[in-house]
Chains A and B, each alone.
Chain A
Amino acid sequence: MRLTDEEQAMRAGEFGEPRRWAIEHQVTVGDFFDAADFVPVTHAHVMADTESLGEAGVSFLEGLAGAPEAERRVRVPTLTDPRGLDPAVYKRLGQSEAMREIEHKAIAAFRTLGVLMTDTCINYQTILPPTRGEHLAMGDTGVVIYSNSVFGARSNFEGGPSALAAGLTGRTPRYGYHLDENRRATRRFRLDTAPRDLSEWGALGGIVGRACGSYWEVPLIEGVGEAPGSDALKHFGAAVASYGSTALFHMPGVTAEDAEFAGPASEAVCIGRAEIDAFVESYGATGDKVDVVVFAAPQLSLIEVAAVADALAGRHVHAETTLLVTTSPEIKYAADRMGLTGRMEAAGAVVAAGICFYQSYAGELAEANGWKRLLTNSAKLVNIIGGYGYRPTLASLERCVASAVAGRVV
């Protein structure tokens, strides 16, 4: 990679050890992807739940945090993805004191580095929406694909260490979705039906993601009638990214950029009612006992929180079922203020802030609570959670709530 004088000085340690580590890490990654140089980023977003970090990762952060203040503070605003634990509900969910302790250590280290503890994977809905052409170092696949596609911003998937490195250096290697040539469509799909709710937008994303199956494919989806709206695109994008490891999609008339093809436009793959129904059915389990109903992945917008509260009106969650709602701290404050949290809790729901379930020791949660059958309206979550030993079912928000009340999949 070509390095500026400042970047070379950083690499030589003239700006301190944290920035030396950061740029060395970034050069290794940049060389691997044949990046020509660095590109400045306006902000970074770090995925660093303690389940992923482990003791080793927290010790690493504490090492960086031990540097002098001028050397350790991030250079551009740096946000955090959801955490492993919400101190307000961790006991009720069966999480341990050891988990709380390691979480506390990680938070202390991040604060010392100057990181803003936003604890959210919907920062584009709640903190600061990106703008077209803005280069970013976003650390959550759902955030990346939404930022790239809906806003026309430019980010690769930046894992925790790389996003933190970008915060410390204020730049990221220029490869992947920072470059025009990688943003053209490579796969073509045609939607022949209208997804009926968020779970079906997620199912559509799962179908597209599975078909792409690569970070380097860019799907183009034709035939989307009315603008789906932010929550639908959120669930769609999160599922494309989860099933496909894909980071950008084009939806003509909806997304930000002109959808050019990288080569000759290929024959469109048609996705209709049968394909969406089959996808949902593949996770079906009607009649089974429901252990836990989860609204998460991504965290809920205020509109989604209100929809759950409305669906629970006049009902109560079954004694042998847990209903968990996760959202960002900002939305939780709003839900508290508007009485939504109180209504959901009165109906027996657990409302958590700053977590997103699968990043919260999902395996240990299953063990502690005896959870097996999980119901959710998030296609992303049903894709992830099988590896943690759950048997996941995908259903609409209304069906999820009705099942939570009945204690079985209805």
Chain B
Amino acid sequence: MATVLRCHPGIGPAVTGTALVAKDNFSARYDLDRKIGVFSRPNHALAGQSYNGMILVLDQAKGGVATAWMLHEMKVRGIVPLALVFNRVNPILAQGAAFGAVTMVDRFEGDVTDLIRTGDELRIEPAGGAVTILNR
């Protein structure tokens, strides 16, 4: 029992993990307390929740350029999402994923924040452009 979602070929290694989904956007500078690994922006849909080791499933990348350095810094410190799954990213998130070797994919057929639910077990294969929902 598994559902395969097709997307544009992405960045980073193949990974397996648990989804944390929200219909909201993402910027490492605007939204996160990177020291403790939680969403800190009060009006973010995931405010107060930990992102460490999770596969974040969100709508779009937003905001400034800092995320390009920050993903690398977060990866080196070991408090970082396992992977990023978006409807559409901006160049900054792609550059940050490339620099930090963080797994990231986008451009699905349909709204990925509807297709995936929080708690789903996912297998992400960026090279082949595929996300498999393992539990349903």
Contact = CB atoms under 8 A, between A and B. Distances in A.
A387 B30 contact: yes
Contacts of B96: 159, 161
Interface string A18-54: 0000000100110111000000000000011101111
A242 B64 contact: yes
A387 B41 contact: yes
Nearest to A363: B33
Interface size grouping (class) on chain B: 35 or more
Contact of B95 (A159, A244, A359): A159
Contacts of A90: none
Contact of A160 (B42, B65, B90, B94): B65
Interface stretch (B14-22, B50-58, B71-79, B111-119): B71-79
A363 B63 CA distance: 18
A161 B69 contact: yes
Interface in B61-95: 61-70, 72-73, 75-77, 88, 90-92, 94-95
Nearest to A141: B64
Nearest to A172: B91
A216 interface: yes
Given A32-B98, A386-B42, A159 B91 contact: yes
B10 A140 contact: no
A47 B66 contact: yes
Contacts, number: 136
A269 B42 CA distance: 28
Q: Dominant SS at the A interface? A: helix
A245 B61 contact: yes
Interface string B94-107: 11101100000000
B40 interface: yes
Contacts of A303: none
A386 B41 contact: yes
A245 B69 contact: no
Contact of B30 (A159, A363, A384): A384
Contact of B65 (A159, A213, A389): A159
Contacts of B9: 31-32
A32 B11 contact: yes
Contact of A57 (B61, B67, B72, B98): B72
Interface string A42-73: 00000111011111110010000000000000
24 contacts: A28-B11, A28-B98, A32-B8, A33-B94, A47-B65, A47-B68, A54-B69, A56-B75, A157-B65, A157-B91, A159-B65, A159-B67, A159-B99, A160-B69, A161-B69, A161-B95, A161-B98, A162-B95, A176-B91, A215-B60, A215-B90, A216-B88, A245-B62, A384-B30
Given A56-B76, A159-B67, 11 more contacts: A25-B95, A47-B64, A159-B68, A161-B68, A161-B99, A162-B99, A176-B91, A213-B62, A386-B30, A387-B33, A387-B40
Interface of A: 25, 28-29, 31-33, 47-49, 51-57, 60, 81, 139-141, 156-162, 175-176, 213-216, 241-242, 244-245, 358-359, 363, 383-384, 386-389
